Structure 1
Amino acid sequence: MKSLLVVRNPVLSFSIDRRLPMVAALLIALSLTAILLNVSQGEYPIAIADILKTLLGLDTGNPNHPFVIQTMRLPRTLVAFMVGVALAISGTIFQGLTRNPLADPSMIGINAGASLAAVSTIVLFPAAPLYILPIASFLGALLMAVLIYRLAWNDGSSPILLILLGIGLSAIATALTNLLIIFGAIANVSQAIVWLAGSVYGRTWLQFWAFLPWCLCGIPLALGLSRHLNVLHLGDDVAKGLGTRLEWQRGLLVIVAVALGGSAVATAGTIGFVGLMAPHIGRKLVGGNHQNLLPIAALIGGLLVTIADWLGRTLFAPTELPCGTIVAAIGAPFFLSLLIHHRKR
């Protein structure tokens, strides 16, 4: 029998799975291992012991190590992990809000809105400061979310209609993005195309520090709102019966999910399926309680993108594949298996 610690909550009683600390510790260990492995591998391999010495400020006897580790590899690896965390939390929130296990930021249209805003900034305003890109992506994703939410409103918001509208508006945003690429200047378009592939190639500490505030604000908010997500996941009628301020809490969760998803897209481009896979894997490990699921899904998402970046750099070296391509190669069959499973049910 599963061991559960029952905790009483004034809004909803929930169960904390005793497996959570063990699973979290295992995922943290795997994530640290993946980060070290990603930093150590490449055309210039470095022993993990030398990486640790360099990070601790100890002399390894090789003057190239600090530059390769701290300037070239560590920032892109940390960005990859943080992007995976943000996308996983965003996908978990959207699956909970829509009560649809096939939902993720790309299906809701969030990624498409963020991509349209980011590509517009890259193509039309190439001289814009770096910190503008996450802001533009967030505004584009938020505008898309508000538009979908407003169109779906009919004395309350329908989860199914939110999905359908997201698919339709995502197609429109993608068409507009393609128009910008077709008619934009070739230098700016080349940058936008590489960015759209979903990659952390060339990411530096500038991108890391620009992305970090979004994670520091969004992740704690998402974890703090997890019990409200539990209530909303039960359905509108049950949530109203429990005295939940339904639309206010749903709107706040949407803003948090949009902020994390939009800023992740601005930082690494369109990396799909992370927000779809991480919550499902997390549910298998710790169950569906979002207070358990959100941190576990976040670690799984960070681990997925970090491993995808490592595989993209090493599988066909010296040719480098975008991590978005690696994730898609795993995520597409995963999505099809989910679709077939739910069709049979």
Structure 2
Amino acid sequence: MPPAILTRSAPARAGAHAPRPGVRPALAGGLLAAATAILALVHLTQGTSTVDAADILGLLAGNDDGTTGAVVAASRIPRLAAGLLVGAALGAAGAVMQSVSRNALASPDTLAVNAGAHLAVVTVAALGLQVPLLGAVGVAFLGGLAAAALVLALSGAGQSSSVRLVLAGSAIALAFSALTSALLLLFSQETRGLFAWGSGSLGQSGLEKVTLLAPLAGAALLVLFLKSRSLDLLTLGDDQARVLGINVRGTQVLAIVLAVLLAAAAVTVAGPIGFVGLAAPAIVRLAAPRITGLHRHVALIPASALMGIFLVLGADVLLRAVIGAESAVEVPTGVITTVFGAVFLVALAHRMRSDGPTRDAAGVSLRTVGAARSAGVLLVLVVLLAAVGVAGLLLGDAKLLLGDLANWVSGQAGPVVSSVLDTRVPRVGAALLAGASLAVAGTAIQAVTRNPLAEPAIIGVSGGAGVGAVIVITAVPLAGFWTVSAAAGIGAAVVSLVVFGLSFRGGMQTDRLVLIGIGVSAAATAVITLLIVLTDPWNESKALTWLSGSTYGRSLQHLVPMAVALLVAVPVIAALHRTQDLLALDEDTPRLLGIRVPRARLLLLAAAVLLTASSVAGIGVVGFVGLVAPHAARALVGASHRLILPAAMLLGAVLVCLGDLIGRTAIAPAQLPAGLLTALLGAPYFVYLLFRSRLSR
């Protein structure tokens, strides 16, 4: 694969230069169709009943004993039909999105179409809304279209940078996922079964959905097929397409609307099955140089649809072959496609050449502020932290007074006040420590990568810690807290070695680092979902609470790892504050000044991993804190890390503590995990950063 496949100019070159002669399209298509047909036959043989391959072959030969036909018609054909529809819809949708945005990383996932459609469907179910004029497809379509429009607007129609498109889509998807998780927790009865469905499941109770949506998807595919010549000309660039008589804006809008409609149909049938829309057309485009005419949309769209079917059916066959048909009933097929797609994204990112503006040091502020202002800012943050901490202790399902807190501190409180504060103090302490840890970790990572949009959750470190902890929790339910903490540390360390090792190979490219991290993070989330569904499929709240970050049930022992990590890591990071100033500038300046850059990076990243692992072990996975706190600190106190570090620590502690406070009080006595609130608070700021950086160019 040429590295330029990920750049915004790659599709234009593909449209302008025909590939060298190679395999005939009919032969390649026939081979893929034959392989897909074999997969479909294998797919029909898998299930929980005793119907096997011989019975299926007998049924195809016209020999039906009554049982075989009933089983195949009731369960296996609907599942196969769902796989065919979903795979074709997602593959074609991804191909069109990539062509229109001229970005090979565009897909229903990276444009947040799946997340928007999922949120819309869950919202309607949670609130009990009746939408007879729209139906499930209309609701999913509107949600997906709104998400795609927002992401494309933030990323400059997807044409400014591959990494910018993925960052914008990831931010919107995380925010929508937080809202979706909140609804699933608040309306657990109304949305029962939608957690596993949220990862994409081919299980069907009949053919009703497929028969309803197949004509709609077929019509969308037909229109796209008829517009294939216009899509070909779009790849030449807007100006050349206009000269050739193409209505550029009209064609782009029509193509995006039809692609979103296909993605919405897929979500309605099977839930948001991840990464098929990215991987299927990307694989086809990789094969285009060797297959004559495959770069043209008249062949690209059907080939991507067929490849999507192959990937979806292949994932479902692999899933049931590995874990068995009984267990596979509860496991979403989208978990497997997400893992595969994430690996594919990592492979693409590993071979990309950096072209995004987010890698530039210009994204890091170089301004300085006066000592008086810096001291004033830090003082205000300390007062704010104290106010939020005290409010966290006093507010909740039971309201307390300052006198109650004073009596508790002096040991004179009554049993009710003591009981409340004995449980509330560790929660507030955990929020403060976790927020400070994530903020310092984000500061170090941003300095090392020279990317103000990097943070522990986005680059996969939090996900790795989560996988390590969940493995122990699910495999050894009686494991102690320290065992879980150690597992989280090991998971974070392993993922960090993978992410940073792949990113730094051949020279550090921060765009590549972020893309690899996003892929690893998606894979980690899928693995966590798989582990929880396999071991405890009925306890959705357990999964959502862990993945959302919660201080519920924390005790003083849960604070120890975070406190120790801060005591060990913060002095190391603080001692290297001048080094971080230089690393944030460029690659050459610190070397010229005698700094051992590899050693400094290793120390900073190791400290960041330690802080992230301890916070995940303490309260679960919390996103955006490591992004928002350092960036806000930089805006308040300037570019010196001597001031950024304490300001970020205070801001991170305030953000998580405030999220925990709102989660405990907004709907008391019910509660929302702190991580959901920090995502809802942090995502808009992240979107603002992307929008502002786009306007500055």
Calculate the TM-score normalised by the size of structure 1: 0.90
Match of 1:43?
397
- Cα distance per residue 1:104-148 (max 9 Å; x no partner): 111111111111111111111222221122221121111111112
Aligned counterpart for 1:158 among listed residues 509, 518, 541: 509
Aligned counterpart for 2:418 among listed residues 66, 79, 82: 66
- Cα distance per residue 1:57-83 (max 9 Å; x no partner): 3x35x33222221x1111110110110
Aligned counterpart for 2:576 among listed residues 221, 225, 228: 225
Distance in 1 between residues matched to 2:606 and 2:557, nearest whole Å: 25
| 1:317–1:210 distance in 2 versus 1, CA, 3 Å | same
Instruction: Give yes or no for contact 1:126–1:188 (8 Å, CA) kept in 2.
Output: no
Corresponding residue pairs, total: 329
Distance in 2 between residues matched to 1:286 and 1:153, nearest whole Å: 30
Matched, 1:92 2:446: no
TM-fit CA distance, 1:166:
1.0
Matches within 5 A, 1:46-195: 46-57=400-411, 59-60=412-413, 62-69=414-421, 71-186=422-537, 191-195=542-546
Distance in 2 between residues matched to 1:50 and 1:177, nearest whole Å: 41
Instruction: Give yes or no for contact 2:626–2:652 (8 Å, CA) kept in 1.
Output: yes
What is the RMSD of the two structures over their aligned residues, measured on CA atoms? 1.9
TM-fit CA distance, 1:15:
8.2
Distance in 2 between residues matched to 1:177 and 1:141, nearest whole Å: 14
Distance in 1 between residues matched to 2:385 and 2:477, nearest whole Å: 35
Distance in 1 between residues matched to 2:505 and 2:392, nearest whole Å: 49
Distance in 1 between residues matched to 2:371 and 2:477, nearest whole Å: 49
Distance in 1 between residues matched to 2:456 and 2:654, nearest whole Å: 18
Instruction: Give yes or no for contact 2:562–2:611 (8 Å, CA) kept in 1.
Output: no
Instruction: Give yes or no for contact 1:86–1:260 (8 Å, CA) kept in 2.
Output: yes
Instruction: Give yes or no for contact 1:107–1:167 (8 Å, CA) kept in 2.
Output: yes
Match of 2:660?
309
Distance in 1 between residues matched to 2:395 and 2:689, nearest whole Å: 34
Distance in 2 between residues matched to 1:337 and 1:211, nearest whole Å: 30
Matched, 1:28 2:28: no
TM-fit CA distance, 1:220:
2.0
Distance in 1 between residues matched to 2:567 and 2:476, nearest whole Å: 28
Match of 1:253?
604
Of structures 1 and 2, the one scoring higher in RCO (CA 8 A, sep 6+) is 1
Distance in 2 between residues matched to 1:336 and 1:258, nearest whole Å: 25
- Local SS of the residue matching 1:179: helix
- Cα distance per residue 1:267-303 (max 9 Å; x no partner): 1111111111111211121112111101100000001
TM-fit CA distance, 1:49:
2.3
- Local SS of the residue matching 1:174: helix
Match of 1:5?
none
Matched, 1:267 2:618: yes
Distance in 1 between residues matched to 2:458 and 2:672, nearest whole Å: 24
Match of 1:330?
681
| 1:65–1:243 distance in 2 versus 1, CA, 3 Å | same
TM-fit CA distance, 1:17:
3.4
Distance in 2 between residues matched to 1:244 and 1:15, nearest whole Å: 26
- Local SS of the residue matching 1:108: coil
Matched, 1:244 2:595: yes
Distance in 2 between residues matched to 1:159 and 1:65, nearest whole Å: 51
Distance in 2 between residues matched to 1:172 and 1:312, nearest whole Å: 28
- Cα distance per residue 1:312-344 (max 9 Å; x no partner): 111111111111111111111111111111112
TM-fit CA distance, 1:190:
5.4
Distance in 1 between residues matched to 2:560 and 2:585, nearest whole Å: 37
Instruction: Give yes or no for contact 2:393–2:424 (8 Å, CA) kept in 1.
Output: yes
| 1:189–1:116 distance in 2 versus 1, CA, 3 Å | farther
Instruction: Give yes or no for contact 2:441–2:456 (8 Å, CA) kept in 1.
Output: yes
Instruction: Give yes or no for contact 1:122–1:188 (8 Å, CA) kept in 2.
Output: no
Gaps of 5+ in 2: 1-367
Calculate the TM-score normalised by the size of structure 2: 0.46
Q: Which amino acid aligns with 1:298?
A: M
Match of 1:214?
565
Distance in 2 between residues matched to 1:53 and 1:20, nearest whole Å: 36
Distance in 2 between residues matched to 1:152 and 1:330, nearest whole Å: 29
Q: Which amino acid aligns with 1:247?
A: P
Distance in 2 between residues matched to 1:344 and 1:322, nearest whole Å: 34
- Cα distance per residue 1:248-269 (max 9 Å; x no partner): 1101100001110111111111
| 1:210–1:99 distance in 2 versus 1, CA, 3 Å | closer
Q: Which amino acid aligns with 2:655?
A: L
Instruction: Give yes or no for contact 2:529–2:543 (8 Å, CA) kept in 1.
Output: no
Instruction: Give yes or no for contact 1:270–1:324 (8 Å, CA) kept in 2.
Output: yes
- Cα distance per residue 1:206-232 (max 9 Å; x no partner): 212243212221222221222211121
Match of 1:344?
695
Distance in 2 between residues matched to 1:267 and 1:213, nearest whole Å: 12
Distance in 1 between residues matched to 2:658 and 2:449, nearest whole Å: 29
Instruction: Give yes or no for contact 2:369–2:638 (8 Å, CA) kept in 1.
Output: no
Distance in 2 between residues matched to 1:72 and 1:154, nearest whole Å: 47
Distance in 1 between residues matched to 2:467 and 2:534, nearest whole Å: 14
| 1:111–1:76 distance in 2 versus 1, CA, 3 Å | same
Distance in 1 between residues matched to 2:591 and 2:609, nearest whole Å: 24
Identity %: 36
Gaps of 5+ in 1: 1-13
Distance in 2 between residues matched to 1:55 and 1:216, nearest whole Å: 25
